[in-house]
């Protein structure tokens, strides 16, 4: 979680490691702070932290309707590995992963 000097939450992210694969379960950027690269910075920090923990892959699901989020993941060198139709809560999800060297 990243807070501003006014003690407002800017970004929150949750993840876990399952053996040698890490899952990034959630990234959220407060609407007031969107467009300021906070999502990009927290994503980079998570990949780096997971890499230090010895994982070889970081994966996440994203709603297919979140085009800007999917573009962010692609810019961070995540690839689309799968598509799940009417999955969680009936939403279509995209499975994105990044392989760590």
Residue ranges of domains in the chain, CATH in brackets: 2-99 (3.40.630.30)
Higher pLDDT, 101 or 58: 58
Q: For 27-56, what is the mean pLDDT?
A: 89
Q: For 38-50, what is the mean pLDDT?
A: 91
Judged against a pLDDT cut of 90, whether residue 77 lies above it is answered with yes
Q: For 26-34, what is the mean pLDDT?
A: 85
pTM value surpassing 0.85 = no
* Residue among 95, 53, 92 nearest 78 (CA): 95
* Residue among 97, 92, 34, 88 nearest 63 (CA): 92
- The reported pLDDT for the residue numbered 38 is 85
* Residue among 7, 4, 10, 71 nearest 42 (CA): 10
Backbone φ and ψ for 41, nearest 5 degrees, come out as -65, -40
Backbone φ and ψ for 3, nearest 5 degrees, come out as -110, 155
Q: What is the mean pLDDT of the chain?
A: 89
């Amino acid at each position: 979680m990243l807070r501003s000097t006014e003690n407002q939450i800017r970004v929150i992210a949750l993840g876990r490691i399952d053996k040698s694969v890490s899952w990034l379960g959630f990234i959220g950027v407060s609407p007031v702070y969107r467009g300021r690269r906070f999502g990009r910075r927290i994503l980079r920090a998570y990949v780096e932290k997971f890499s230090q923990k010895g994982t070889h892959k970081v994966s996440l699901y994203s709603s297919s309707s979140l085009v800007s989020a999917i573009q962010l993941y692609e810019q961070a060198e995540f690839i689309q590995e799968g598509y799940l139709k009417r999955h969680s809560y009936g939403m279509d999800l995209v499975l994105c992963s990044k392989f760590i060297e």
